[in-house]
Amino acid sequence: MGVIQFKNVGKVFGPKESGFVALKDINLEIADKEFVAIVGPSGCGKTTCLRLVAGFDNPTDGAVMVDGTPIKRPGPNRAVVFQQFALFPWKSVYDNIDIGLRNLSVPKAERQSRIAAILNLMNLEPYAEHFPHQLSGGMQQRVAIARAYVLDPDVLLMDEPFGALDAQTRVVMQEELVRLARKNPRTVLFITHAVEEAVYLADRVVIMTRAPGRIKEVLDIASIRKAEDWDSHEKIEDVMDLESFVHLRTQIWRSLREEKADQHA
Amino acid sequence: MSRRVAIGFVTILIVGLIWLMVTSVFGVIPSGRFPSPAETWSALIHVSGRGYGGGDLLLHAYNSLRLVVMGFVFAIITGVPLGLLMGWSRRAEALINPVFLIIRPIPPLAWIPLAILWLGLGDAAKILVIWFAAFVPSVINTFAGVRNIDRPVIEAAYMLGMPRMRFVTEVLVPGASPMMFTGLRLSLQASWTTLVAAELVGAFYGLGRVLNVAQQDLYPGMILVGMGAVAILGWATTRALGMAEARVMSWNTAALAAKG
Amino acid sequence: MNKRISFRQSVLLGFGGLILFIGLWHGLAISGLVPRVFLPSPLEVYDRFTTLMERRFAGATLLGHMLASFERFAYGFILAAVVGIPLGLLMGWYRLLDEIVSPLFDALRFVAPIAWVPFAALWFGTGIGGPIMIIFAGAFPPCVINAYRGAKFVDPRLIEAANMLGTPSHRVIREVLVPSSVPSIISGLRVSAGLGWQSLVGAELIVASAGVGYLMVQGQANISTTTVMSGMVAIGLVGLALDSSLRLAERVILRKRGLEN
């Protein structure tokens, strides 16, 4: 199960009275196996939200919970995919994926079969013995996703995972992620500032205000996606051409633009 | 052969010729000051065969090498773990740093008189001083190496639920190893310098002793032989360390690029 | 890494560590486990240090020895900088010079400065030339190497910009190459000073008739551990002062250029 709850969450960096208020009054519930994207202007606290669920930081106010239990520290049930890949440069692709399973004391035979399956799924089989520095950015991020997925986590946390990739690779990765998510669904919290990416991938999109970050709006994508049958289109450019898609995208842009305008006011 | 290597060869050749001419052929430099190639050669034969200053060349070289290796190994066994600890734990860093800051400005060579006072002129005093000289760069660079590890990599390790021991051996140490090896190279350099100095001050065997006796005997050819031997051993040990580094760090493109 | 600790905590821990260290030292000295002659207590060392500042030992007061040491260091260091920095810069700019000089450099790299002491003693006896030569041997390489790096790794785009603006060669050298090499040179001077000071200490242990190193050797010969330790403290203090002032100079110069990180 992977139900995430933010209850009156606030986060201040530095001393409580005078520090930087990153988040204020965040209330959000993410259902099991739901794919939620958070978008917002820079510094709005979206990454902070992810870090709270990951357990890298703790909230100053309120509580962040997974399946009803408050989150205290990081763990493999909330696997993270970082923007900078964060692979271990001294380990091969195979070993990078293996180590999470070893930490869970998974027996060797099972580890081997699980890794073989994920390598196959992510098209990484020929690269199992390669080292990260021998791979392109896109491939490294595939390894990072594989590393997270192989843990069979309750929650998948993705922090601008395609931000460091070039535009073409990005599109390919988005298509792959959609395929993966439909095939092997689980709760996903996806941070991005690319609106189209969010609309394409997510069931719901959360729009945040600039700092101090609050939730401005939550848009339901899944119902429109199902009603307009986006999944019948294999290519991403066909989906992005649909009127329903464009409408949602524009709605979000307008909302974000208000935030940006306020910033310069 | 590349242009650079070719020019290098030519330069060394020319320098060698100048040496020959200035000392033997034209006698511009009196033999009491700087040895001619011939004198150096005969000194080399002397110390290799009959022996000089208490033993032959192999014995002296072996002793010096032995002490350097022992001191160096003790230093990294103690220094690297301390560097890892201080790099990892900010508490440990805060606690130990001031003591370090006080001890650091004292050059390792300055410990020689104290070491001799405590342990005499034998091996123990030398190993102590070498240990100290090699210890400091190991700690500092390993510390820097740990701090240099990308934050996301550390967070990824946390996320993957790494048990403590595995974290140290499979994340901290490999992550710190690029800078750690830089520290090891500095430690090795410091070890040789300190060893030679300690043996010059007082020793029964070793290349430093050869230098010392040669100086007292006004035997410049032997001095040059001693210096050459030190340089060669220094080069060889550094090379060995470099090979170990390349082996361990085949994953690090930056290091590989630096080796050329 | 572990979470950061507060400034207050780090200061407290720092003090604690210091007091623990001095306490252990003092305790060990007093306990009698180690013969007093080998491990004097911190207080005794302090006492001896202050005494030596006024009373002569081995020819001069501690202050006198420190000044003598520093004087030699200064000559050797300045010589190394004056010869080394221009050489390094030229090697960085003119490839032929680099190719000629580098092999010699590499060959001599593995000879520790201290290994020159026997020749220094042979040529200069116990005169001031000896230590200066050793200091030079220690301080020279970093000066050259850092000047070389500063010159060689000038951002080529700066040169291109200068050429595009029609700058004559000598101006390019003076107003582009030299200034952009300065940070590297200053950093090299700091390393050079440290190595030079260390080399001086080594030289004075072996061939000198004055200076702090000489003081320590005499202290050792007379089994006066407090004297030896006082010498070590003095050396540390001077070394620290040198390094701090150069660090400060480095920071000032870098700040003026907005290069501070």
Looking at the predicted structure, is the pLDDT value of residue C256 above 80?
A: no
Place C261 in a pLDDT band, splitting at 50, 70 and 90: very low
| CB contact (8 A) between residue B152 and residue A82 | yes
Of A152, A173, A199, the position where a domain reaches its end is A152
Pair (A70, A8) in one structural domain: yes
Most confident of B37-46, C133-142, C150-159: C133-142
Looking at the predicted structure, is the pLDDT value of residue B11 above 90?
A: no
Looking at the predicted structure, is the pLDDT value of residue C96 above 60?
A: yes
- Name which CATH class applies to C43-256: mainly alpha
Please count the other Cβ atoms lying within 10 Å of the Cβ belonging to residue A85. 26
CA–CA separation, A207 vs A44, rounded Å? 10
B105 in Cβ contact with C243 (< 8 Å): yes
Q: How many CB pairs under 8 A join B and C?
A: 175
Looking at the predicted structure, is the pLDDT value of residue C126 above 80?
A: no
Place B255 in a pLDDT band, splitting at 50, 70 and 90: very low
Which run of H or of E encompasses C63?
helix C62-93
CA B183 to chain centre: 11
B114 in Cβ contact with C215 (< 8 Å): no
Quick check: do C and B touch, 3+ CB pairs under 8 A? yes
| CB contact (8 A) between residue B159 and residue A74 | yes
Pair (B179, B255) in one structural domain: yes
Interface membership of C213 toward B (CB under 8 Å): yes
Name the pairing type of β-strands A20-30 and A204-208: unpaired
* Each residue's pLDDT tens digit, B131-156: 999 999 999 999 999 999 999 999 99
Nearest Cα residue to B125 out of A46, A121, C38:
C38
Residue A103 is nearest to which of B150, B162, B175, comparing CB atoms?
B162
CA–CA separation, C133 vs C139, rounded Å? 10
Pair (A251, A169) in one structural domain: yes
Pair (A216, A200) in one structural domain: yes
Pair (A70, A106) in one structural domain: no
- Cα dihedral B36/B42/B47/B53 (nearest 10): -60
Pair (A121, A185) in one structural domain: no
Q: Residue C39: what pLDDT?
A: 87
CATH number of A21's domain: 3.40.50.300
Q: Residue C209: what pLDDT?
A: 79
Pair (A129, A194) in one structural domain: no
Q: Which residues of A touch B166 (CB under 8 A)?
A: 99, 102-103
- The answer to whether position A130 is within a domain reads yes
Enumerate the domain spans of chain C: 43-256
* Each residue's pLDDT tens digit, C170-201: 888 778 888 888 888 988 999 899 889 989 99
Buried b / exposed e along A108-139 (16+ C-beta atoms within 10 A)? eeebeebbeebbebbebeebeebbbeebebbb
Looking at the predicted structure, is the pLDDT value of residue B228 above 60?
A: yes
Q: Which residue has the tokens 């507060």?
A: C6
Question: Residue B30, preceding bond cis, omega within 30 degrees?
Answer: no
Give the mean pLDDT of C198-226.
88
| CB contact (8 A) between residue B170 and residue A78 | no
Residue in B153, B154, B159, B171 to test binding to A, most A beta-carbons within 10 Å: B159
Residue in A50, A73, A81, A99 to test binding to B, most B beta-carbons within 10 Å: A99
CA–CA separation, A187 vs B1, rounded Å? 61
CA pseudo-torsion sign A116, A121, A126, A130: negative
Pair (A209, A250) in one structural domain: yes
Helix/strand/coil for A53 = helix
- The answer to whether position A188 is within a domain reads yes
Please count the other Cβ atoms lying within 10 Å of the Cβ belonging to residue C242. 19
Q: With 0-12 CB in 10 A as exposed, 13-18 as middle and 19+ as buried, what is B185?
A: middle
Mean pLDDT of chain C: 87
Name the residue range of residue B18's domain: 1-30
Report the percent of chain C where pLDDT is more than 90: 21
| CB contact (8 A) between residue B90 and residue C10 | yes
Pair (B196, B234) in one structural domain: yes
Total domains in chain A come to: 2
Helix/strand/coil for B127 = helix
Q: Which residue has the tokens 């200066």?
A: C132
Q: Is C211 left (phi over 0), alpha (psi -120 to 50) or beta?
A: left
Pair (A121, A163) in one structural domain: no
Pair (A169, A57) in one structural domain: yes
CA pseudo-torsion sign C110, C113, C117, C119: positive
Place C112 in a pLDDT band, splitting at 50, 70 and 90: confident
C2 in Cβ contact with B90 (< 8 Å): yes
Of A152, A175, A206, the position where a domain reaches its end is A152
For chain A, list residues with pLDDT below 50. none
- The answer to whether position A20 is within a domain reads yes
Which chain B residue's Cα is nearest to C224? B117
Structure tokens at A79: 């696997």
Q: Residue B1: what pLDDT?
A: 66
Q: Residue B17: what pLDDT?
A: 86
Q: How many CB pairs under 8 A join A and B?
A: 72
CA–CA separation, B207 vs B222, rounded Å? 11
Q: List, in sequence order, every residue forming a beta bridge with A66; answer none if it has no partner.
A: A4, A69
Place B253 in a pLDDT band, splitting at 50, 70 and 90: low
* DSSP state for residue B108 in the 8-state scheme: G
Q: List, in sequence order, every residue forming a beta bridge with A65; answer none if it has no partner.
A: A5, A70
Q: Which residues of A touch B163 (CB under 8 A)?
A: 103
* Each residue's pLDDT tens digit, C7-27: 888 888 888 989 999 999 898
Q: How close does chain B come to C251, measured CA to CA in Å?
A: 20
Which run of H or of E encompasses A33?
none
Q: Residue A265: what pLDDT?
A: 52
| CB contact (8 A) between residue B155 and residue A80 | yes
Pair (B64, B182) in one structural domain: yes
Total domains in chain B come to: 2
Place B31 in a pLDDT band, splitting at 50, 70 and 90: low
Q: Using H for helix, E for strand and C for coil, what is the string for C134-179?
A: HHHHHHHHHHHHHHHHHHHCCCHHHHHHHHHCCCCHHHHHHHHHHH
Complex ipTM above 0.85?
yes
Pair (A250, A137) in one structural domain: no
Largest CA distance in chain C: 78
Q: Residue B82: what pLDDT?
A: 95
Looking at the predicted structure, is the pLDDT value of residue B256 above 80?
A: no
CA–CA separation, C196 vs C194, rounded Å? 5
User: Chains meeting A at 3+ CB pairs closer than 8 A?
Assistant: B
Q: Residue A262: what pLDDT?
A: 64
Could you tell me the pTM of the whole model? 0.85
CA–CA separation, C241 vs B58, rounded Å? 43
CATH number of B191's domain: 1.10.3720.10
Q: Residue B176: what pLDDT?
A: 93
Pair (B175, B188) in one structural domain: yes
- The answer to whether position A164 is within a domain reads yes
Residues sharing a CB contact under 8 Å with residue C176, sequence separation 6 or more, in sequence order: C154, C158, C159, C162, C167
Pair (A190, A141) in one structural domain: no
In chain B, where does DSSP find H-type helix? 3-20, 37-48, 57-88, 90-103, 112-119, 123-147, 151-159, 164-167, 173-201, 207-216, 220-248, 253-259
Report the percent of chain B where pLDDT is more than 90: 47
Pair (A27, A120) in one structural domain: no
Name the residue range of residue A99's domain: 89-152
Residues sharing a CB contact under 8 Å with residue C98, sequence separation 6 or more, in sequence order: C91, C92, C148, C152
Pair (B44, B22) in one structural domain: no
- The answer to whether position A84 is within a domain reads no
| CB contact (8 A) between residue B152 and residue A103 | no
